[in-house]
Chains A and B, each alone.
Chain A
């Protein structure tokens, strides 16, 4: 991996990572702490290309509860990963996929109406999609090997490589 960031570039990317991590972690925690929460209502609203999937999930309470658990723990794991900088690239990619799933279940396209209140006004592009794209940016421009726990893993690997090179030279 070969990344050259200026200090402001590095810190703005790290801040973006931390903010999104924070958001994911709290979103997951809120669902975890609320025993009443279920994705049922959200999935029932599903339109467009994911509606078949949503119907399948909501048709069976067993599948629904698995989806709820995976969603809740997934959000928390991704959030913690981004916040701590641990397996950040995996976390960025998984987070993006998760957000795209949300987006595709209820995209703000013309002609699609939802009873779920929206926190702003959106046409095609909404904050979910922007957050997903931000995660893709973080995936392409990783920072956790510079600031974050991945630094330790990265160093260990590099050290091992170095040792092997040294051995060869000897």
Chain B
């Protein structure tokens, strides 16, 4: 065998140890200087990316933008608050989860999916589900089961304290052991139950939307306003930490003068169009006159014979809801009102129709609404369809930049921006893509050859939030309500904002139904 060892390469000294000459050592260590160059270049590359980000941040004055305040909230302390659920459908299950209660079947499914641990890290709000009220036995039973036997966020299963099922919500309100109620019924009960609950001395967390007509909206506003009870409307959207950044960006005038806001809802499924009386296999869901207290379900709405269609698909009917306005636009409006405090518009015009879902529904499946705010010199648009799922975002347009606000936040500088003219010319700020991107959580796309460091750099700014931990926004919204009950203060969706939202929705609804432009009379506080 002819070996590769150079003649002068190595020798063995007398003690039998290997001795290397310089040439061999250089060959052995040939990669080391390259590793040095690598380290040097990698450091340079990183500091370039960081400097580029920092320069944009400095230019925009956003040095303190990246500190989410949500997590600095103090630990929950105080007596356990006893909460009653009025209505226990799908949404109530989500609310209970946000409060720290899940069923044992959910526990099992989370165990298989590996998401149990993440839910268990949610903070214990020190509350009890002390009572459940639902006109449908099956739903009431579901609520009772979660409250009595379910898993709690503190790791315990079940409770020794009695959980009571109430036949009517009034029975629950008459029970002095209940401190607060969560109203998660169909919308036609919201205003009445909220007003009655506050009159009975209960704190209220009520799902949107707040009211179906002006009279009940005025009544609930008056009752809540004249009490010391804590009211929160269920709009978890603003608890998304991204909204804090969005608010800060707007406060710093980075968008310039805002004169147009476009909000949208696009969905394209039967369930999204509120056809929900069938299960996944296409069979009718359970429920009949033996298990549903139909008179109580109808409440103050017109008396009609029992209908499983109406029971499950109530959103489709004007007797119980305002459709997309009440269910979807409310979130859009709340997001914008939280950011800009636009309040009640001067006028509203709606138009649309039932163009796709040809069932017996009242609500339009394509709808456009234009709200004018001459005092604020801006227009709010809502454009929605239940027959296309093309995502269109939520865009706040200013003359210096526009902001697309959703799960993530993107701010794109305007080519003709007066404020950023110099930076755009100097190349510090680009207009071909977003100049600021805030994206919580993870789930980035990457692979060795297709997406690398360049991909991240091109996004400008990225951030993890709350130590990279995903936190349920519903939990944060309930938590805010609970904190206010314990320590005082006003939740972000208080009765003032609920009223502004309620009126805005009713203006758009009235405009659609009456096919005319409606206005708000701020003196008489009336839609005209």
Contacts and interface: CB of A to CB of B under 8 A. Distances in A.
Answer whether A and B are interacting partners.
yes
Interface of A: 2-4, 14, 18, 21-23, 25-27, 29-31, 33-42, 44-45, 59-63, 75, 80, 83-85, 99, 102, 106, 115-119, 126-128, 131, 145-149, 151-152, 155-156, 158-159, 162-163
B445 A45 contact: yes
A59 B113 CA distance: 6
Contact of B12 (A2, A148, A159): A159
Given A26-B38, A155-B5, A159-B18, A146 B27 contact: yes
B4 A34 contact: no
Nearest to B470: A61
B226 interface: no
Given A33-B46, A83-B35, A147-B27, A159 B444 contact: no
Which of A18, A26, A30, A44 has the most C-beta atoms of chain B within 10 angstroms of its own C-beta? A30
A38 B444 contact: yes
Contact of B34 (A18, A126, A152, A163): A18
Interface string B445-463: 1111111110010000011
Contact of B444 (A2, A14, A41): A41
Chain B interface size band reads: 35 or more
Contacts of B113: 59-60
27 contacts: A2-B1, A3-B4, A22-B34, A26-B452, A29-B42, A34-B444, A35-B464, A36-B441, A36-B462, A36-B464, A39-B446, A41-B443, A41-B444, A42-B446, A61-B115, A62-B117, A83-B31, A83-B35, A116-B450, A118-B450, A128-B448, A145-B4, A147-B27, A148-B27, A148-B28, A155-B20, A159-B10
B32 A34 contact: no
Given A147-B30, A149-B31, 14 more contacts: A18-B34, A30-B456, A36-B468, A37-B446, A42-B445, A61-B115, A61-B118, A62-B114, A116-B445, A127-B449, A131-B448, A148-B31, A155-B18, A159-B10
A119 B450 contact: yes
Contacts, number: 136
Contacts of A102: 447-449
A88 to B, nearest CB: 10
A163 B12 contact: yes
Contacts of B5: 155, 158
Q: Which 7 A-B pairs have the closest CB atoms?
A: A41-B445, A60-B114, A84-B31, A151-B28, A38-B442, A127-B449, A40-B443
A107 to B, nearest CB: 12
B32 A84 contact: yes
A62 B29 CA distance: 39
Given A2-B1, A22-B38, A62-B114, A85 B446 contact: no
Contacts of B374: none
Nearest to B440: A36
B1 to A, nearest CB: 7
B114 to A, nearest CB: 4
A3 B20 CA distance: 21
Contacts of A83: 31, 34-35, 38
A167 to B, nearest CB: 10
Contacts of B117: 61-62
Contact of B114 (A63, A106, A148): A63
